Chain A
């Protein structure tokens, strides 16, 4: 158990809909990362937050957005869903930003299926 909690574990929704994925980082971790893993793309970095502020964006679509709240939990919002958005979405956390020696720990992921 990494200490990173993601909900829901599984989600099935229709095209065009909107969903919210939730992440609670490990206790004491200020930095949160979101990743997407689809069959053909591997693990892709989406976005990073540190202590409530956006730090960096990766391959995140404009239809997707995220935020980190004062209690440090984070939400990833996916809207106007398409079949190709079906994937595993992972949240990860680390103690600080900017220090490569701080380990990043991953949650177990949220399976999103768009039908």
Chain B
């Protein structure tokens, strides 16, 4: 079974621009979560999508948004980029079973550099 895939793997943007990152979960997985990893703040949860709905949200400003499509693929968008948004963005997928504690499987990440 193919793992979680993320595109693109690397991105360079300038301040003020916006960016869209894509994540394709493991086949059959319906939950997709996004995390931001930076040297200063470590790994932080952004949000989770399940059945095209945001099910859980971390403590990030509204510039960070996401969506999920009917095939469970997810996109994450960051508007009005700031230098501090430079990070590795990781996507994780799981089956999405309600009320269950699940194992999340992570993709390789998209490394975003904001200049």
Q: Do A and B come from one complex?
A: no
